[in-house]
Amino acid sequence: MKNINWSDLTFGYVKTDFNVRIYYKKGKWSDLEISDSDQITMHMASTCLHYGQEAFEGLKAFKGKDGKIRIFRMRENALRLQDSCRGIVMAELPVEIFEAAVVEVVKRNLSFVPPYESGASLYIRPLLIGTSPQVGVKAGDEYLFIVFVSPVGPYFKAGFKPTPYAILRGYDRAAPLGTGTIKVGGNYAASLISGEIAHTKGYSAVLYLDAKEKKYIDECGPANFFGIKNNTYITPQSSSILPSITNKSLMILAEELGMKVERRPVPVEELATFEEAGACGTAAVISPISRVDDLDENKSYVFSKEGEPGPNSLRLYNKLRAIQYGDEEDKYAWVTVLDL
């Protein structure tokens, strides 16, 4: 076990012992290579540097009370990476190669998996980049797949405490027929300026509206959005948001907890009717939202007056975490237990 103060971890990069790499050249994926360096060298004309041929994923491994290590829904991440590959014309990484690389990198860094009691987890970051030189705008024919890990604490400093979000109507994250549904770096680049403005004004994140009409809620910078009212879990349907694996899981768990689930366009004014609201994702888990300020319209929507998460958000959070840490039966086969 490493000498890390696990419960003080934030969501950041910690150097670990190994990462894994697989190269795509001449139409073939190489064998997996283990590296102890966190540096890479590449051609200065690589397509990832100039034309954004870059996609990534995010998933987590958890150490249970029983000492076992569980990886949450990695097949879903493998499939979503394939969607990203198709979206920006990169070689499509087979699911089995993705899964084997994820398992291997966790096994090689066992001492970095935070202990059960800490509530922290091991974040796994798969990354696929175009590495062949190209000057004209054209897809490359060489790619590098890397998976590294980092032990992490909560994405937002407050952890599981409600924090405020902002709507900034002067900025879009993704266009309706653009790349919002895939996990490519360009979407995050587009969100940096509005994210910084929001942070400067004291907000945790931006809540984006649909870019075309500015009528409907899309998602947050690093997470999907949900609202809860009348025992119903409501989350946006949109052609410019990332299909969150956490959100998909929460929809199933909400039903199991006796709630109704609606996935549909959510008009921004509907914020006024929600009893609870939150951001959800691998990094965010559930990050409850205390208030959304629509800054250009001078409107505020308040969800949590007490500074505590709402009861349904709490139930969902506990249920999801219980499955991830192995405290509750994995009845949907979401979890891969490492064979150590």
Nearer to ligand COI by Cβ, of 242 and 259: the residue is 242
Q: Is residue 144 within 8 Å of residue 285, measured between CB atoms?
A: no
Q: Which residue is nearest to ligand COI (CB)?
A: 58
Verify binding: residue 283, ligand COI, rule CB under 6 A.
yes
- The C-alpha atoms of residue 237 and residue 216 are separated, in whole angstroms, by 9
CA-wise closest residue to 240 among 168, 172, 338: 172
Binding mask 192-231 for ligand COI (x = CB under 6 A): ------------------------------x---------
Verify binding: residue 207, ligand PLP, rule CB under 6 A.
no
Residue type, 288: P
Binding mask 279-298 for ligand PLP (x = CB under 6 A): --xx----------------
- The continuous run of DSSP H or E covering 251 comes out as helix 245-256
Which of these ranges, 34-42, 270-278, 280-288, 298-306, lies near ligand COI under the rule CB under 6 A? 280-288
| One of 19, 53, 121, 224 touching ligand PLP (CB under 6 A) | 224
The CB density around residue 177, as the number of other CB atoms within 10 Å, is: 10
CA-wise closest residue to 274 among 253, 238, 302: 302
Verify binding: residue 243, ligand COI, rule CB under 6 A.
no
Spell out the residues 6+ positions from residue 30 whose beta carbon is closer than 8 angstroms to its own. 22, 23, 24
Verify binding: residue 179, ligand PLP, rule CB under 6 A.
no
| One of 246, 287, 304, 312 touching ligand PLP (CB under 6 A) | 246
Q: Which of residues 56-75 bind ligand PLP (CB under 6 A)?
A: 58
Nearer to ligand PLP by Cβ, of 57 and 142: the residue is 57
Verify binding: residue 265, ligand PLP, rule CB under 6 A.
no
**Shortest Cβ 77–ligand PLP spacing (Å):** 7
Nearer to ligand PLP by Cβ, of 133 and 243: the residue is 243
Give the N- to C-terminal CA distance of the chain in Å, as an integer: 16
CA-wise closest residue to 220 among 147, 267, 146, 166: 166
Nearer to ligand PLP by Cβ, of 48 and 206: the residue is 206
**Shortest Cβ 320–ligand PLP spacing (Å):** 10
Which of these ranges, 25-33, 161-169, 217-225, 296-304, lies near ligand PLP under the rule CB under 6 A? 217-225
Q: Judging by DSSP bridges, how do beta strands 205-209 and 299-302 pair with one another?
A: unpaired
**Shortest Cβ 242–ligand PLP spacing (Å):** 4
Strands (E), the chain: 19-25, 28-29, 33-35, 54-56, 59-63, 69-72, 121-130, 143-152, 163-167, 205-209, 217-220, 224-229, 232-236, 260-264, 276-281, 285-294, 299-302, 335-337
DSSP string, 59-91: EEEEE-TTS-EEEE-HHHHHHHHHHHHHHTT-P
Binding site for ligand PLP (CB under 6 A): 58, 219, 222-224, 242, 244-247, 281-282
Binding site for ligand COI (CB under 6 A): 58, 222, 281-283
